Structure formats: structure tokens, C-alpha cells
């Protein structure tokens, strides 16, 4: 990867900016054009966060998942924050994902691709541009890359300097992730250690007994002379919603090996439910970068929408290029998903299908919290597996909002978090996340579904 423009294929650079001619939904209204220009120019000279070769490797891993030979685990915060980019919190999230991956791998006997909603998930689409509290109306919070959460005029201004802070926070987050996952911490022989530091609960206990079985298997392998370096380190990818052109465009660079553009802000980027318009700026821009692309599909998605997205984003039908992330809601998935899956199955495309059982299941509790019922989340996952089983297609992964911390944001789970508990341990600035225990419980459910196949 090279920062300088090296022999881009003719027209590539012009094409990248074509999004400027199209409608770009959900963009900030920056107050200061001069500082925006300075920030964009600075971003464009910063080192890439990920490398084109890693992105290509990920594409081949996702191709395996699309072919039914691997499973994708994608998870992390709804909205990362600058304040929470601490070593402890990042470690807890990585540990939680590693634990879930072990559960899934053991249940499915398949490789699990580990991917954080991390190191870039700093911008949020909103259903309303404003927020009103006690008669005062201010711009909505759009993620730390755009404005502050504090409910003051000053904090809610869209400040381009925040894009630089998002870049640097992503860089330090990714640095720690890379250290954890390649520096010995992710060694499968430490499978018990990942469970330490979390409070005791039924999901942890279940995990412990699985960890014991894994230990035995590893000792057996060692005794029979198998020494695998694969045990010591793990691949770990990062992803986020590619929402802000003023961040993604400067982070897009021409790969010196191939002369093609890569968005170096993350390995995989996705297009949200609110920005996936076929003629919109997001779809156009991401159609021109080489990264694996995800697209969220809500309950109103039509077959024609999906086929048009495939033609635009994956015209060459390249394995691993395109992932559909369905987020239908537990009550709708069994009706809304089959026609999409069947139409794609009967076409020449082979995208990866994964389930996001979070975003179609939002509720507001009587005491005013944005929440989700753990039972609904589980039910959507079950529905996802049912639909794919019936269609003969592969349910290739899950996309989860989670944290390694002991928060109370989603209702239920074996700890039976109720509405009153939300008042004690609700921390998310955006959507409610599964806590550590709920995340492990979900992983066990998915593992059972996978082993039943």
C-alpha cells in the first residue's frame, strides 16, 4: 500500500469522486468549511489503518463462508466512543469475541472469521436530525466522529476536527487489537484465561466446561506430535458502517500492487439500511473500492432491490465481495427473508448471508430506555437458520451489538435483566448491546443451530 497515487487505472480516481454528484444521505452539516478542508487533507496523508493484502485475505475467508465452509462472527459496539477506547474495555470486547468464536468453532467444526465492529464505528445514521429534551431542541448525536453526546449547543455542533480524533482513536484501538490477537493473548491454550475477570454466571460456567474439553483436545494433539502455529495467534478483522464520505474518501488509497482503490479505514465496510439506495452516493462510492462490502437489509427489502445491489456492488460475482446482513425483526424474518434468499439462490450470485438480530427488534421500555428483548434476538437467529434450512442455503454468520462489560441494556437472558436493572447499568449512547453473559449465551444457541445442520 502506498500513500501516493501510483499508476491508478485511468479514470479510477475520477470515478471515486462520482458520489459527489449523487445524493449522500445522513451527512453532517459541518460548520467550518476551511477546517473541514484541512482535516480531509490531513487524513489523506495519514498512514492507512489496514493493508490491501489483509483485505484480500479477508475476501477469501468470506468467500469460504459464502460457500458454507466457514462462519463469520461480527460484533462490537453500536457506537464506539473516544472515552471508551481504553485498554480494559477493548480487551473485554476482544475476549468476548474470542470466547464466542471458540464456542462457535467447537459447535460447528468450522473456521470462524472474527471481526469487530471496532476501530472505526464512530458515526451513526439517525432517524431524526434533532433531539428534544424538556422543550429544548438540538441536533441529534451522530457519533463521536461528528459531535458530542452532551446535550448542549456547543457539544452538538458538527466539528470536523473530530474526524481526526476518530482516525487516531481507531489507530490506537487497532494497535491494541493486533497486539492482543497476535502477541500471545489469543493462544488457544489460554482459552480458560479469556474467561477470567468476568463475573461468575451460568454462561461462564458452561464456557468453562467447554474450555476443559478444548484443553484435552489440545493436549491430545500435542501428545500426538501436532504443533500448530495456528493455535498461537488469530486473524482478527475490523469493520464499521462507511457512513461519512469526509472520512472514507480521504482514507481510500490506490494499492501499489494492483492500481485499484482500497478503503483503508477498515477491512470490511458496510452500507446501512438508511443509505443503501441504489442510486445513492454510498452505493456508488463503495462499488468502486475493493474491500468486502456489507449491506444491511431491513424487512421491507424487495427482491429487485437485492438483485440491483448485487449488479452494482458485485458485477463480477466475485466470491467474498458481498455480504447481506439481514435485520428483519423476529416477527418478520420468516416472512420477509425467504423470497430474497430464494431469488438470489436461483441467480448467478453467491453472496454471504448473515443475520443481525439486533436492529429489527428495538423497543422502548415503560421507563424510557431503548432496549431489546434477548428472547426476540434469539428468535430472529432461529428464524434465520430456519429460512436458510428450508431454502437449502447457508446461514453464514452473525452480526451482534455487544460489549464485554457487565452492562444491563437488553432485557432477559438467564440473568433475567428487567426494566428496573436498566436504570442501574445502562451505558450505551446509542443502541442497547448484549452484555458479556448474553453474548456467550447467544453463541451457545448459534453453535447448537450449526451443529444441528
Q: Please compute, for residue 289, the number of CA atoms within 13 A of its CA located in the half-sphere on the CB side.
A: 32
Q: Is residue 359 a contact point for ligand PEP (CB under 6 A)?
A: yes
Residue 431 CB, nearest approach to Co ion (Å): 3
Q: Which residues of 179-211 are buried (b: 16+ CB within 10 A; e: fewer)?
A: ebbeeebbebebbeebbeebeebebbebbeebb
Instruction: Give which of 351, 348, 344 is closest to 319, Cα–Cα.
Output: 351
Interface characters, 200-239, with ligand PEP (x: CB under 6 A): ----------------------------------------
Distance between CA atoms of 18 and 297, rounded to whole angstroms?
A: 24
Non-local (6+) Cβ contacts of 281 within 8 A are 19, 20, 22, 23, 24, 25, 245
Interface region with Co ion, contact rule CB under 5 A, candidates 62-70, 73-81, 222-230, 419-427: 73-81
Interface characters, 60-79, with ligand PEP (x: CB under 6 A): ------------------x-
Instruction: Give which of 78, 110, 66, 214 is closest to 446, Cα–Cα.
Output: 110
# residues contacting ligand PEP (CB under 6 A)? 10
36-65 residues near ligand PEP, rule: CB under 6 A: none
Residue 131 CB, nearest approach to Co ion (Å): 16
Q: Is residue 322 a contact point for Co ion (CB under 5 A)?
A: no
Residue 154 CB, nearest approach to ligand PEP (Å): 26
Interface characters, 102-141, with ligand PEP (x: CB under 6 A): -----------------------x----------------
Q: Which is nearer to ligand PEP, 144 or 273 (CB)?
A: 273
β-pairing, 322-326 with 293-297? parallel
288-317 residues near ligand PEP, rule: CB under 6 A: 296
Interface characters, 312-351, with ligand PEP (x: CB under 6 A): ---------------x------------------------
- In the complex, which residue's CB is closest to ligand PEP? 272
Distance between CA atoms of 419 and 274, rounded to whole angstroms?
A: 29
Residue 301 CB, nearest approach to ligand PEP (Å): 11
Q: Is residue 431 a contact point for Co ion (CB under 5 A)?
A: yes
# residues contacting Co ion (CB under 5 A)? 2
Q: What is the DSSP letter of 199?
A: P
Beta strands in 277-387 (DSSP E): 293-297, 322-326, 352-355, 362-364, 370-372
Distance between CA atoms of 161 and 168, rounded to whole angstroms?
A: 11
Contact 178, 170 (CB under 8 A): no
User: What is the chain's percent helix, strand, coil content, to nearest 5?
Assistant: 45, 15, 40
Interface region with ligand PEP, contact rule CB under 6 A, candidates 28-36, 143-151, 271-279, 403-411: 271-279
Query: Residue 263's binding partner, choosing from ligand PEP, Co ion, none, with beta-carbon cut-off 5 to 8 A by kind?
Result: none
Work out which of 65, 66, 78, 402 binds Co ion, going by CB under 5 A: 78
Positions that interact with ligand PEP (CB under 6 A): 78, 125, 241, 272-274, 296, 327, 359, 431
Amino acid at each position: 500500500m502506498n500513500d501516493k497515487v501510483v499508476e491508478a487505472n485511468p479514470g479510477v480516481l475520477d470515478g471515486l469522486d462520482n458520489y459527489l454528484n449523487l445524493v449522500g444521505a445522513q451527512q453532517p452539516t459541518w460548520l467550518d468549511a476551511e477546517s473541514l478542508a484541512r482535516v480531509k487533507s490531513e487524513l489523506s496523508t495519514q498512514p492507512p489503518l489496514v493493508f490491501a493484502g489483509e483485505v484480500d485475505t479477508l475476501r477469501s475467508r468470506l468467500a469460504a463462508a459464502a460457500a458454507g465452509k466457514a462462519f463469520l462472527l461480527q460484533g462490537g459496539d453500536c457506537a464506539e466512543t473516544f472515552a471508551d477506547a481504553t485498554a480494559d474495555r477493548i480487551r473485554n470486547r476482544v475476549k468476548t469475541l474470542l470466547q464466542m468464536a471458540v464456542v462457535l468453532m467447537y459447535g460447528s467444526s468450522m473456521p470462524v472469521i472474527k471481526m469487530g465492529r471496532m476501530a472505526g464505528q464512530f458515526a451513526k445514521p439517525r432517524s431524526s436530525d434533532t433531539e428534544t429534551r424538556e422543550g429544548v431542541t438540538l441536533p441529534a448525536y451522530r457519533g463521536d466522529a461528528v459531535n458530542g453526546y452532551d446535550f448542549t449547543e456547543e457539544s452538538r455542533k458538527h466539528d470536523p476536527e473530530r474526524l481526526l480524533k476518530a482516525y487516531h482513536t481507531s489507530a490506537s484501538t487497532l494497535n491494541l487489537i493486533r497486539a492482543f490477537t497476535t502477541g500471545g493473548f489469543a493462544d488457544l491454550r489460554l482459552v480458560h484465561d479469556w474467561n477470567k475477570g468476568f463475573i461468575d454466571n451460568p454462561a461462564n460456567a458452561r464456557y468453562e466446561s467447554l474450555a476443559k474439553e478444548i484443553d484435552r483436545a489440545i493436549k491430545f494433539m500435542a501428545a500426538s506430535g501436532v504443533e500448530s502455529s495456528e493455535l498461537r495467534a488469530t486473524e482478527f478483522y475490523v469493520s464499521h458502517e462507511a457512513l461519512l464520505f469526509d472520512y472514507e474518501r480521504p482514507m481510500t488509497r490506490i494499492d501499489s500492487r494492483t492500481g485499484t482503490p482500497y478503503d483503508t479505514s477498515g477491512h470490511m465496510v458496510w452500507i446501512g439500511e438508511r443509505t443503501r439506495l441504489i442510486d445513492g452516493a454510498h452505493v456508488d462510492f463503495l462499488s468502486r473500492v475493493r474491500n468486502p462490502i456489507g449491506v444491511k437489509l431491513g424487512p421491507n427489502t424487495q427482491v429487485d432491490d437485492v438483485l440491483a445491489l448485487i449488479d452494482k456492488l458485485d458485477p463480477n460475482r466475485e466470491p467474498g465481495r458481498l455480504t447481506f446482513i439481514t435485520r428483519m425483526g423476529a416477527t418478520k424474518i420468516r416472512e420477509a427473508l425467504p423470497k430474497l434468499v430464494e431469488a438470489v439462490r436461483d441467480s448467478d450470485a453467491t453472496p454471504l448471508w448473515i443475520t443481525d438480530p439486533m436492529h429489527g427488534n428495538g423497543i422502548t421500555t415503560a421507563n424510557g430506555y431503548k432496549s431489546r428483548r434477548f428472547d426476540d434476538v434469539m428468535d430472529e437467529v432461529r428464524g434465520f437458520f430456519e429460512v436458510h434450512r428450508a431454502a437449502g442455503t447457508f446461514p453464514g454468520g452473525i452480526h451482534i451489538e455487544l460489549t464485554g462489560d457487565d452492562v444491563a441494556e437488553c432485557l432477559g437472558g438467564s440473568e433475567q435483566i428487567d426494566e428496573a436493572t436498566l436504570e442501574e447499568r445502562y451505558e450505551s449512547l446509542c443502541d442497547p448491546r448484549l452484555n458479556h453473559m448474553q453474548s456467550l449465551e447467544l453463541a451457545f444457541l448459534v453453535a447448537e443451530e450449526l451443529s444441528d445442520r
